[in-house]
């Protein structure tokens, strides 16, 4: 039985209950994080907690816990659940009010929820053949840098891919690549890794940072700059990155092949660097 954490208690998931007046339920008024755990060790925890703080600041919600307390609670969830590799989900909502009112309640206790799911990394076939994606205009709000629980636009956009038998929806705004419905997107052209800059139009991905660090470490030329829609479509390679999918090659977009239509050589290198880096980090923690 899955054990979760809710408002100060570890309990079986079936017993975890939240008020119907919770602002997370009524307004999507909350912040969240998804943290991959390898060999029972949270990966890039400090970075995830730093981004969480940025989201909380952005939605004007006080962080209920210190970094030490978060680390202890996340460790508690990891220890109480099965599996060496897990995906920890945490969310903080503004809490339950007595009436439905857009304005923030004067006094309210935030709702804190943490759960763990098995970390299911993509099947090897997706790496070997690559995945198919569709594109859509990025119709989200202008604070995509905040990891909030208001994800309806992302869900609708991801569903476009699912309906088309694809894995991800790549978003373009004003002629530029922003990100995926639930991932960051990179392009490779003539051996150069192209990454959209971290602005308020995309989530500052933790995996995105790892990929750029690995590129620098291994001498892969990079350009962090606006990537035009035409450049993305004409790229030699396209990748999606996220905490749960790691790095995946996108080999078709809107039914057209990307590059040769096969995962490219730069992807293969990055994938190997990523796996090697994960191993190193996990060993260093021992
Ligand atoms: N999503 N952009 C969006 C819109 C995302 O939802 C995510 C991740 C990313 C990648 O960020 P990171 O590398 O830090 O996981 C980019 C998570 C996995 C989710 O919502 O489940």
Determine the average pLDDT of the residues in 127-148.
98
pLDDT, position 193: 99
Q: Which two tokens stand for residue 28?
A: 């999507």
pTM over 0.95: yes
What integer is the mean pLDDT of 181-185?
Answer: 99
From the list 265, 175, 181, 180, the residue with the least C-alpha distance to 229 is: 175
182 C-alpha to ligand 1 centroid (Å) = 5
Please state the separation of Cα 121 from the chain's center in Å: 13
Residue 198 falls in the annotated catalytic set: no
Are 202 and 239 contacting, i.e. CB atoms less than 8 angstroms apart? no
Average pLDDT, the chain: 97
If one residue of 115, 117, 206, 243 were mutated to test the ligand 1 pocket, choosing by the most ligand atoms within 8 A of its CB, it would be 243
pLDDT grade for 286, boundaries at 50, 70 and 90: low
pLDDT of residue 140: 98
Go through the domains of the chain in sequence order and give each one's CATH number.
3-118 (3.30.470.10), 124-282 (3.20.10.10)
**CA nearest ligand 1 atom 4, residue:** 182
Q: Confidence band (pLDDT; 50, 70, 90) for 284?
A: confident
Residue 158 has what pLDDT?
98
pLDDT band (50, 70, 90) for residue 1:
confident
Rounded Cα–Cα distance for residues 279 and 274 (Å): 9
| pLDDT tens by residue, 46-88 | 999 999 999 999 999 999 999 999 999 999 999 999 999 999 9
pLDDT of 117 over the 80 cut: yes
CA distances to 32, 54, 231 from 143, rounded to whole Å, are 14, 12, 24
Q: Span 106-119, mean pLDDT?
A: 97
> 151 pLDDT band (50/70/90 cuts)?
very high
Sheet containing strand 111-118, edge to edge, reads: 9-12, 3-6, 111-118, 86-93, 30-38, 41-42
Q: What is the mean pLDDT of residues 153-170?
A: 98
The per-residue pLDDT for range 213-249, each reduced to its tens digit, is 999 999 999 999 999 999 999 999 999 999 999 999 9
Residue 131 belongs to what H/E stretch?
strand 131-137
Closest by alpha carbon to 267, among 240, 244, 245?
A: 240
Instruction: Give residue ranges with CB within 6 A of ligand 1.
Output: 34, 154, 179, 182-184, 203, 205-208, 241-244
pLDDT of 283: 79
């Amino acid at each position: 039985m899955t054990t979760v954490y809710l408002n100060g208690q570890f309990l079986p998931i079936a017993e975890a209950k939240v008020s119907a007046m919770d602002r997370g339920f009524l307004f999507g008024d909350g912040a969240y994080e998804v943290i991959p755990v390898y060999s029972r060790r949270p990966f890039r925890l400090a970075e995830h907690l730093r981004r969480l703080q940025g989201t909380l600041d952005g939605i004007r919600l006080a962080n209920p816990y210190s970094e030490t307390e978060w680390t202890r609670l996340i460790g508690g969830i990891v220890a109480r659940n099965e599996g060496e590799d897990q995906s920890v989900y945490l969310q903080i909502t503004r809490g339950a009010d007595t009436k439905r009112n857009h304005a923030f309640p004067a006094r309210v206790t935030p709702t804190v929820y943490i759960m763990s799911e098995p970390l299911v990394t993509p099947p090897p076939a997706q790496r070997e053949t690559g995945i198919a994606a569709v594109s859509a205009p990025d119709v989200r709000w202008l604070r995509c840098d905040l990891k909030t629980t208001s994800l309806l636009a992302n869900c609708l956009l991801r569903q476009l891919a699912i309906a088309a038998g694809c894995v991800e929806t790549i978003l373009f705004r004003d002629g530029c690549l922003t990100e995926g419905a639930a991932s960051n997107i990179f392009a490779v052209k003539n051996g150069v890794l192209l990454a959209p800059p971290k602005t308020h139009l995309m989530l500052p991905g933790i995996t995105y940072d790892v990929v750029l660090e690995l590129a620098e470490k291994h001498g892969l030329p990079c350009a962090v700059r606006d990537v035009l829609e035409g450049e993305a479509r004409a790229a030699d390679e396209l990748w999606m990155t996220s905490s749960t999918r790691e790095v995946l090659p996108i080999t078709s977009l809107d039914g057209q092949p990307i590059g040769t239509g096969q995962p490219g050589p730069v992807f293969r290198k990055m994938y190997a660097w990523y796996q090697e880096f994960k191993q190193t980090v996990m060993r260093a923690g021992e």
